[in-house]
Amino acid sequence: MDADAASFANAVLTWQRRYGRHDLPWQQQDAYRVWLSEVMLQQTQVNTVIPYYQNFLTRFPDLKELADASIDEVLQHWQGLGYYARARNLHKAAIIIRDQHQGCFPRDFAELEVLPGIGRSTAGAILSFAFGQRWPILDGNVKRVLARCFRVPGWYGQSATMKQLWYLAEAVTPGEYTAEFNQAMMDIGSMICVKSKPKCEACPLKDMCASYRHHSQAEYPQKKPQRVKPHKRTLMLLHRCDEQILLWRRPPSGIWGGLWSLPEVDEASAVELWQQSFLSIVQSPRALQQDVIRHQFSHYSLDISLAIIELEALPDGISDTENYAWVDTKDIGKHGLPTPVRKILSLLQE
């Protein structure tokens, strides 16, 4: 480690001992808990994650409980956190660790990094936090600190930028106290070097920060040139018969993968054809509510309209019994549903 890297690590560690967070529920925990927290934190803020993390652990206290559970139940405990591929990968990786690693987390970086949903940074976090090994991490907070400190050009989607950020992360991560250092970098990113208006006067790195020196904090990390978000529409079908409604399990990949939702068609003229194909009936909607909810995905926004179809009796059959089910309204909570669908159903019950 050269002198500059040593000063960087010392400044970060000294700050951590005095101001860093020492009371997060996943600190000083085993690999399972570190892994779970890292995956939940990938797209979500600490304060949002904490209650989900605690509820998830109550139901799945260890890796075996998670691996033995059904994907439906895992998704149900993930609902509301979004980015459901994280939950599906968590479940897949738990099964692999149970079946191929005797239920113990691999301590080898190469074995860990190839597990579903565990990339280079999450593997580094597990190995440094749970096993005390020297591996750098590069989550969103750490990227921002390094990009500003060293005025790294380009945006995160560019491989040259990521290469440079990883190079810097490797260079500044110390061989001793790696876990404390990694925690401190995440804390500095989330508490001090925040996205807008970083609190540079309180930052332990200000003496060596190039952005601070050049008053260019707002220019880093550089942003990907914006494209206008496309706009999509869908029509959800709410078939209702007394207290039962028809739910559809979405395909395992794609948006809301594996979650239960309402069947969808592109437009009202397709409702009858859908009914004939899946329920062998034709029943016109009682009501058509346009644009009930607009949901924002990272790459597009979705306007959801709703067709409410009242049935006097349940149809004789469903052509795809594996992915469609009549569910009693009081049992809806047992199914993992995307947030907008839950909102639509609760609006209707009010």
Q: Are β-strands 231-241 and 244-249 bridged in parallel, bridged antiparallel, or unpaired?
A: antiparallel
Asked whether position 209 contacts ligand SF4 by CB under 6 A, the answer is yes
- Cα separation, 207 vs 199, in Å, equals 13
Q: In sequence order, what are the residues at sequence separation of 6 or more whose Cβ sits closer than 8 angstroms to the Cβ of residue 74?
A: 60, 66, 87, 88, 90, 91, 336
- Cα separation, 6 vs 3, in Å, equals 5
Asked whether position 200 contacts ligand SF4 by CB under 6 A, the answer is yes
- Cα separation, 249 vs 263, in Å, equals 8
Asked whether position 212 contacts ligand SF4 by CB under 6 A, the answer is yes
Asked whether position 211 contacts ligand SF4 by CB under 6 A, the answer is yes
| Among 75, 149, 184, 306, interactor with ligand SF4 by CB under 6 A | 149
Nearer to ligand SF4, 188 or 262 (CB): 188
Asked whether position 165 contacts ligand SF4 by CB under 6 A, the answer is no
- Answer yes or no: 201 catalytic: no
| Among 64, 107, 134, 206, interactor with ligand SF4 by CB under 6 A | 206
| Among 97, 205, 247, 341, interactor with ligand SF4 by CB under 6 A | 205
Three-state SS at 20: coil
Asked whether position 143 contacts ligand SF4 by CB under 6 A, the answer is no
Closest CA to 173 of 160, 183, 161: 183
Asked whether position 262 contacts ligand SF4 by CB under 6 A, the answer is no
Nearer to ligand SF4, 93 or 149 (CB): 149
Amino acid at 134: R
Asked whether position 138 contacts ligand SF4 by CB under 6 A, the answer is no
The token duo for 106 is 């691999």
Crossing angle (nearest 10°) for helices 31-41 and 120-131: 140
- Segment lying near ligand SF4 (by CB under 6 A), choices 47-55, 79-87, 207-215, 326-334: 207-215
Closest CA to 86 of 32, 26, 44: 44
Beta partners for residue 309, in sequence order: 239
Beta partners for residue 327, in sequence order: 245
| Among 24, 57, 75, 145, interactor with ligand SF4 by CB under 6 A | 145
Number of shown-chain residues binding ligand SF4 (CB under 6 A): 14
Within positions 218 to 257, which residues make up the interface with ligand SF4, using CB under 6 A? none
Residue in 38, 219, 272, 312 annotated catalytic: 38
Nearer to ligand SF4, 76 or 211 (CB): 211
The token duo for 326 is 């009549």
Other beta carbons less than 10 A from residue 30's beta carbon: 15
| Rounded least distance, CB 330 to ligand SF4, Å | 51
Cα of 30 vs its chain's centroid, Å: 21
| Among 77, 88, 143, 148, interactor with ligand SF4 by CB under 6 A | 148
Nearer to ligand SF4, 193 or 238 (CB): 193
Site string for ligand SF4, 176-195 (x = CB under 6 A): ----------------xx--
Q: Are 53 and 62 in contact (CB under 8 A)?
A: no
Q: In sequence order, what are the residues at sequence separation of 6 or more whose Cβ sits closer than 8 angstroms to the Cβ of residue 327?
A: 244, 245, 246, 247, 260, 335
Nearer to ligand SF4, 123 or 172 (CB): 172
Asked whether position 217 contacts ligand SF4 by CB under 6 A, the answer is yes
Three-state SS at 31: helix
Q: Which residues are catalytic?
A: 38
Q: Which residues of this chain interact with ligand SF4, rule CB under 6 A?
A: 145, 148-149, 192-193, 198, 200, 203, 205-206, 209, 211-212, 217
